[in-house]
C-alpha cells in the first residue's frame, strides 16, 4: 500500500513539474541555510569532552566581596592562596590547577632558531583528567609537582619543529633560558572549544588551538611566570609582580582550577567543602562577607563564560526565521497543488476511499517531495560550508565540518518540514465533499 502511495506521488509530480520544482527549490534553500548555521553553532558549542564533561567541574571562591561580584557570581579565577589550598585538600578524585603562559623556546641544536610558544602551567592530574593523548612518553608524576621538577610536555607540532617528529622523550630544551627535560609529546589534541584555560585567557581564546608547552605549576611559579591578564583589584594587596612573593600571596585572581567528581554525592560533598573553606576564611578575618562559592560542570562553565560567538547564535536565529518563511510559502504552494486535484479526490471518496487514506496519500506525497528537497539541500549545504570562510572568522570556519549526521539531519529536516507544511493542505483536501465534486465535475 505504501508503494502505491509513492507511485501516486511520483505521477502527481510529473503532472505538475513546475510547481514541484518550486517547492523543492524553496525547501533546499531554506533547509541548507538553516543547516549551515546549525553546523557553525554545533561546532562552537559542542561538548569538548563527550562522556566526561558531567564529571568535570570548575570551582569558584569569592575573595573579592559583593562589591566586585557580577550577578552575584564569584570571580572566574582563583587566587594563588585558594588554588593551592584546594589542591592540598585533595577532596576530589583528581584536581588540576592551570594558568596560561608564554615562553621563549630554544633547542639544544644551535641550527634551530629560537621561537615563541604559548602553553600552560599545570599540575600532574591535568593529563589524565582531560584524557590528553600522547604520541611519545606521558605526563609527570604528582611527586614531580612537589619537587618543582623541570619537566615539560610539548605538542606534536613543536616536536616536529625541534626534533623532526622523532621521539624526543628525555631530550632537553630551554624555556626562557632555563633547562627542561621532555617528559612527553602530545598526539593531535585540539579540544574545541579550548575549555581548560578559558578563564585565564578570556573567551576569545575558546576557538584557539591548545598550547605547545606544558610545565609543572610549581616550576612556573618558581620562575615567576604570570598570566597575561591577572584580575588584580586595587584592594587586592600587592598587585605588582616585581614583588613576587607579596604578589603571589595577595588576592590577585589568576589561576583556573578543575576537579573531577564522578558522582552526585561527590559533587554535593565538594560543594559543601567549598562552603566550609570560605567560612573558615571568614572566621580568620580574610573575608568580611558571607561565603560565596560556585561549582559549574564543564558545559555549564562554557555557557557561563559565553564561549559561543554571538555571530553563530544570531545566524542560527536568522536562518530559522528564513526557514519559517519558506514553510509558509510551501504551505500555500501545497494547498494550491492539492486543491487542484479536488475532482480526483471526490471520485476516490465516492468509490469508498476513507479520509485516512487521503491523509496518507498526500502526506506521503509531501514527504517524497521533502526527500528530494533534502537531497538538493545537502548539495547547497556542502556549498555553503565550503564558502563559510567568507561569513565567519577563519578560526571558526576551520572548526566546521560535514559528517554523516549533518547530512542525515538535513534530509530529515526537509522531510519533516514538508510534512508539517502539508498538514493543513491535506486536511483541506480530505474534507472535500465527494458528491459536490462529482456534481460540478461530471
Report the range out of 129-138, 198-207, 234-243, 318-327 with the highest average pLDDT: 129-138
Q: What percent of the chain has pLDDT over 90?
A: 36
Report the range out of 22-26, 178-182, 353-357 with the highest average pLDDT: 178-182
C-alpha radius of gyration, the chain, whole number: 31
Report how far residue 197's alpha carbon sits from residue 256's, in angstroms, rounded to the nearest whole number: 7
Residues in Cβ contact with 288 at an 8 Å cutoff, skipping those fewer than 6 apart: 65, 282
Residue from 222, 157, 142, 151 nearest 190 by CA: 157
In terms of Cβ atoms closer than 10 Å to its own Cβ (0-12, 13-18, 19+), residue 4 is exposed
Report the range out of 107-121, 305-319, 400-414 with the highest average pLDDT: 107-121
pLDDT score for 54: 92
pLDDT score for 209: 78
pLDDT score for 223: 93
pLDDT > 90? residue 9: no
What would the grid cell of residue 377 be?
Answer: 539541500
| Mean pLDDT value across the chain | 82
| Mean pLDDT in residue range 400-406 | 75
Residue from 413, 399, 354 nearest 42 by CA: 399
User: Would you kindly state where each structural domain of the chain is located, as residue ranges?
Assistant: 2-47+310-440, 53-304
Q: pLDDT for 33-57, tens place per residue?
A: 888 877 777 777 777 888 889 999 9
pLDDT score for 350: 63
Task: Please tell me the pTM assigned to this model.
Answer: 0.75
Q: What is the pLDDT confidence band of residue 198, given thresholds at 50, 70 and 90?
A: confident
Q: pLDDT for 93-116, tens place per residue?
A: 999 999 999 999 999 888 889 999
What would the grid cell of residue 126 be?
Answer: 591535568
Could you tell me what percentage of the chain is helix, strand and coil, using 3-state DSSP and rounding each to the nearest 5? 55, 15, 30
DSSP SS3 for 351: coil
What would the grid cell of residue 233 be?
Answer: 583589584
pLDDT score for 365: 73
| Mean pLDDT in residue range 306-326 | 73
Q: Which residue has the higher pLDDT, 319 or 412?
A: 412
What would the grid cell of residue 239 be?
Answer: 598587585
Which three-class secondary structure string do you get for 389-437? Answer: HHCCCHHHHCCCCCCHHHHHHHHHHHHHHHHHHHHHHHHHHHCCCHHHH
pLDDT score for 309: 66
pLDDT score for 2: 54
Report how far residue 251's alpha carbon sits from residue 344's, in angstroms, rounded to the nearest whole number: 81
pLDDT score for 215: 95
Q: Which residue has the higher pLDDT, 223 or 242?
A: 223
Residues 63/253, Cβ–Cβ less than 8 Å: yes
| Mean pLDDT in residue range 398-418 | 78
pLDDT > 70? residue 203: no
pLDDT score for 390: 58
The DSSP code sequence of 171-239 is -EEEETTEEEEEEEEE-S---SS--TTHHHH-GGGTTSPP-SEEEEHHHHHHTT---SS-B--TTSS--
CA atoms within 13 A on the CB side of 242: 1
Q: pLDDT for 149-185, tens place per residue?
A: 999 999 999 999 999 999 999 999 999 999 999 999 9
**Residue 310 CA to its chain's centroid (Å):** 13
What would the grid cell of residue 190 be?
Answer: 585540539
| Mean pLDDT in residue range 60-82 | 87
Phi and psi angles of residue 358, each rounded to the nearest 5 degrees, phi first: -65, -40
pLDDT > 60? residue 305: yes
Amino acid at each position: 500500500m505504501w508503494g502505491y502511495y509513492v507511485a501516486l506521488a511520483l505521477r502527481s509530480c510529473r503532472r505538475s513539474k513546475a510547481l514541484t520544482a518550486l517547492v523543492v527549490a524553496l525547501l533546499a534553500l531554506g533547509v541548507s541555510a538553516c543547516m549551515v548555521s546549525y553546523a557553525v553553532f554545533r561546532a562552537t558549542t559542542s561538548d569538548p569532552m563527550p562522556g566526561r564533561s558531567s564529571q568535570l567541574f570548575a570551582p569558584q571562591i569569592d575573595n573579592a566581596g559583593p562589591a566586585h561580584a557580577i550577578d552575584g557570581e564569584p570571580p572566574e579565577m582563583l587566587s594563588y592562596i585558594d588554588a593551592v589550598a584546594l589542591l592540598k585538600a585533595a577532596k576530589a578524585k583528581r584536581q588540576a590547577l592551570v594558568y596560561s603562559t608564554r615562553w621563549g623556546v630554544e633547542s639544544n641544536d644551535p641550527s634551530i632558531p629560537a621561537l615563541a610558544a604559548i602553553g600552560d602551567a599545570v599540575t600532574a592530574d591535568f593529563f589524565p583528567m582531560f584524557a590528553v593523548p600522547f604520541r611519545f612518553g606521558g605526563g609527570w608524576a604528582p611527586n614531580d609537582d612537589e619537587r618543582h621538577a623541570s619537566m615539560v610536555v610539548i605538542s606534536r607540532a613543536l616536536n616536529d619543529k625541534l626534533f623532526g617528529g622523532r621521539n624526543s622523550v628525555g631530550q632537553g630544551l630551554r624555556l626562557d633560558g632555563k633547562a627542561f627535560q621532555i617528559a612527553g609529546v602530545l598526539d593531535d589534541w585540539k579540544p574545541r572549544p579550548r575549555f581548560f584555560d578559558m578563564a585565564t585567557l578570556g573567551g576569545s581564546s575558546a576557538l584557539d588551538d591548545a598550547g605547545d608547552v606544558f610545565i609543572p605549576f610549581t616550576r612556573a611559579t618558581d620562575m615567576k611566570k604570570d598570566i597575561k591578564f591577572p584580575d588584580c583589584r586595587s584592594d587586592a594587596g600587592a598587585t605588582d609582580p616585581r614583588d613576587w612573593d607579596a604578589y603571589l600571596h595577595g588576592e590577585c585572581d589568576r589561576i583556573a582550577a578543575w576537579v573531577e567528581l564522578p558522582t552526585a554525592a561527590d559533587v554535593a560533598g565538594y560543594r559543601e567543602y567549598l562552603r566550609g573553606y570560605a567560612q573558615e576564611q571568614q572566621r580568620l578575618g580574610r573575608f568580611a562577607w558571607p561565603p560565596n562559592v560556585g561549582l559549574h560542570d564543564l558545559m555549564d562553565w562554557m555557557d557561563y563564560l559565553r564561549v559561543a560567538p554571538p555571530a553563530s547564535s544570531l545566524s542560527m536565529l536568522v536562518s530559522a526565521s528564513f526557514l519559517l518563511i519558506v514553510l509558509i510559502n510551501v504551505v500555500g504552494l501545497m494547498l494550491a497543488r492539492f486543491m487542484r486535484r479536488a475532482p480526483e479526490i471526490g471520485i476516490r471518496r465516492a468509490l469508498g476511499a476513507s479520509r485516512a487514506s487521503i491523509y496518507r496519500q498526500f502526506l506521503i506525497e509531501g514527504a517524497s517531495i521533502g526527500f528530494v528537497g533534502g537531497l538538493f539541500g545537502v548539495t547547497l549545504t556542502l556549498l555553503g560550508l565550503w564558502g563559510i570562510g567568507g561569513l565567519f572568522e577563519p578560526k571558526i570556519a576551520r572548526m566546521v565540518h560535514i559528517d554523516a549526521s549533518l547530512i542525515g539531519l538535513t534530509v530529515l529536516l526537509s522531510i519533516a518540514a514538508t510534512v508539517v507544511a502539508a498538514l493543513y493542505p491535506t486536511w483541506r483536501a480530505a474534507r472535500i465533499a465527494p458528491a459536490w465534486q462529482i456534481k460540478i465535475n461530471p
